[in-house]
Chains A and B, each alone.
Chain A
Amino acid sequence: MSTLTGTTQLLKLMVRLDRIRLSVWILLLGLVPVAVASSFLALYDTEAARRELAATVASSPGLVALLGPIHGTSVGALTTWRIGTVGAVLVALMAVFTVIRHTRLEEETGRRELVGSTVLGRHAPLLASSFLVVASGVLIGALLTLGLLALGEDAKGAVAFGLGWTSVALAFAAVGALAAQLTESSGGARGLAGGVVGVLFALRMAGDGGEGMGIGWLSWLSPIGWVTKLEPFGDERWRVLLLFAGLTIVVWSAAFAISARRDVGAGLFPARGGPADAAPSLSSAGGLAWRLQKGPLVGWMVSVGLFATVWGGLGDTISQIFEDNPQLAAIFEVFGGEGALADMFFGVAMGLVALIVTAYAINTALTLRAEEDGLRAEPVLATPTSRLGWAGGHLLFVALGPVVIMAVAGAVAGFTYGLIAGNVLSQITSLVGIALLQVPAIWVGGGVAVALYGIVPRLATLSWGALVTFLLLGQLGQILQLPQWSLNLSPFTHVPLPPEPVSAVPLVILTLIASGLFGAGLFGLQRRDMR
């Protein structure tokens, strides 16, 4: 029996299992660039207007850091700049999560053994899941290329843009495959791979934003950076594709080599033993929640803190640029902000961090569902622990975790910016304040997950849909000229961004809505059947 026996059958099974999830990813990622391009066509319909925008972007390290450099004045070039790197991150996340779901998670749950006892080679799951992701990447690339061609954009540029994202899917399928070999738990593998995506995005940000400081080479270290180095609708440096190919071959070979040596179920980092007796802190449902949640919280604080270092370092450059370039304000409105200067930059940046931290809040709320579905809630609820007591410890993390993470983001960004600007304390105070303004909106996002979990647990994963909606409304709402009422659906639309005067009213209302959602979830949880 070859090590690849059964790959085709397994691939069919994966397509069957993922038919809805991947279709949504493919359509979304393939069509968003087309939507963005068509709205740029309407917004910047003259060459002069586009040239002006491109010049403004090129002179702003902050914008280049956030989204990447701009390589031309065509609508295609603007679209690539606006969505190229952010979309590449989404493609990368799709790739790693899909591969991990079909490999490590299957092993962890023991389903792999069920399938593996039939005729199946040991590399088959790895190859089939990678193939599934690459095929999705090809479809995404083809869809966006055809869409841009249909809008009359340059063929070479459209193909380069499409190939860029397809290559990201290819490279990160390999990254996911490697991460899945290293850890024994799928959560650990997801965290590892997600962390790699985050670090690579941060490298690109630092490199692109710090071009003037001589650290531009950093973006060459990041496959996310290669997407812009490919220069679609610019010079089209096709040789960058070789970098993707090389990286994929190296990472993939490593993954296959480990997969060939290790036991099914085992990782490269072996599981260690632990204490035979529980520490005194592990004596209550709250203690259990603390034990389960503190690791992820620290991980989030560290990653968000790292991001904030990069942003903080950019603040000074930004404020100088803004002073002699009022036109930037117009572009920043596209992000949902208005006004000027570094505060505004940080307001927008914190808005982005807040969306990421909302993912933390939702994920933490959904651990309740994972505990219930994983049959780990049952033994606890069979002791004198009420449902409220069981859920409460985790919900405390949903409520207070975002406060802590946002405070860290503000403090770190304030510290780095303050070092440059020479007023550390006042910058920390001011930026922690700006960061915390986002917290009520994050609570609403977390509250959606709590309410869905408590009332209709079957639909709890829809809360991710809410987050994607908030993200798209915030990122694309203005570009796509969506009506104000639809923008208002996102809680983040209502967060006051300095230098706009901070009014307590929206914050109080958001907090009340979030409390209502938490309350509704707990009310439902106490009345429904547990799984």
Chain B
Amino acid sequence: MTTAISISGLVKRFGSTTALGGLDMVVETGEVHGFLGPNGAGKTTAIRILLGLIKADEGEAVLLGGDPWSDATELHSRLAYVPGDVALWPNLTGGEVIDLLGRLRGGIDPARKKTLLEQFDLDPTKKGRTYSKGNRQKVALVAALASDVELLILDEPTAGLDPLMEAQFRRSIEEYRQGGRTVLLASHILGEVERLCDTVSIIRDGVIVESGSLVDLRHLTRTSISAEVEGDAASLAQVEGVHELALNGTRVEFEVEGDRMDAAVRHLASLGVRDLISHPPTLEDLFMRHYQAES
């Protein structure tokens, strides 16, 4: 089996609001898949359907080859989940929660727990009510990473972490995926997704607006180029696929569509290039292209 998650035409309504309006998404086994979108776009709703906590109104979702609603209990022994908003029992210590969740998933490796506690610099003897938001998130992360499962579902897992811990989180995810395991990472932090994920789905208003590998997606967008040239660069405007052309003395700045790069660079070369800087499109560009269209 090579598909960990496959969703097609998923619809979920809450009263008169439509949270998901026909969501399609595929996550292949062994990849780290970024699930990008701002708050309220439907990321958490989709995840809750995958976890069998809520039932889809229409459409189909297949999780690890099973039905997330009717096979929930069996499927859950093969996955771990870190919610975006981690709530702990006020009277249980962090260590107790980690053990409990691990045992509910079928056992926990004490050595692995110890390593993770050290890596994430977490004190397991504090009571749930005394942890900060970041530390509550660490409890859930350690509990999830300590268990030996095929699929990790993370809903904005670094929202409360400081930069040092974010770096530790990235190392842990890199380590985790070595075993060919799958990660679904919902986030609105573009840098995080860009550094960790192979493939990305961008959700807006309950539908996926863009999906594919980061490499593929970059082709769909424009590269920014900044150059010093000897000749008059105004002629660049004639080249197909060149946008936002700006001339400032001998410096020229423009954006070029991915598949028009060759023509633009040839034309530039003919002008006599003294200096050239090229920025590949960032995920942020991809993201903003979809979200700015609205406003």
Contacts and interface: CB of A to CB of B under 8 A. Distances in A.
B126 A380 contact: no
Interface in B186-236: none
Nearest to A383: B104
B146 interface: no
B182 to A, nearest CB: 16
Interface in A441-498: none
Interface string B71-95: 0111011011101011111111101
Contact of B101 (A287, A291, A383, A530): A383
A381 B124 CA distance: 22
A321 B168 CA distance: 77
A385 B76 CA distance: 8
Contact of A273 (B77, B126, B143): B126
Contacts of B87: 374-376
A529 B127 contact: no
Contact of B100 (A108, A278, A375, A378): A278
A284 B104 contact: yes
Given A185-B90, A271-B130, A282 B53 contact: no
Contacts of A386: 72-73
Given A185-B90, A278-B99, A379 B81 contact: yes
Contact of A379 (B73, B90, B101, B130): B101
A275 B76 contact: no
Contacts of B80: 382
B124 to A, nearest CB: 4
A277 interface: yes
Residue from A187, A292, A379, A385 whose CB has the most chain B CB atoms within 10 Å? A379
Interface in A262-312: 271-279, 282-285, 287-288, 291-292, 295
Nearest to A287: B100
Contacts of B76: 382-385
B268 interface: no
Majority secondary structure of chain A interface residues (helix, strand, loop or mixed): loop
Interface in A378-406: 378-386
A381 B129 CA distance: 21
A184 interface: yes
Residue from A187, A272, A378, A383 whose CB has the most chain B CB atoms within 10 Å? A383
Interface of B: 48, 51-55, 72-74, 76-77, 79-81, 83, 85-93, 95-101, 103-106, 110, 124-127, 129-130, 140, 143
22 contacts: A274-B95, A274-B126, A275-B95, A277-B99, A278-B98, A278-B99, A278-B100, A282-B96, A283-B103, A288-B89, A292-B91, A295-B91, A375-B85, A376-B89, A378-B51, A378-B53, A381-B53, A382-B80, A384-B73, A384-B104, A529-B53, A530-B48
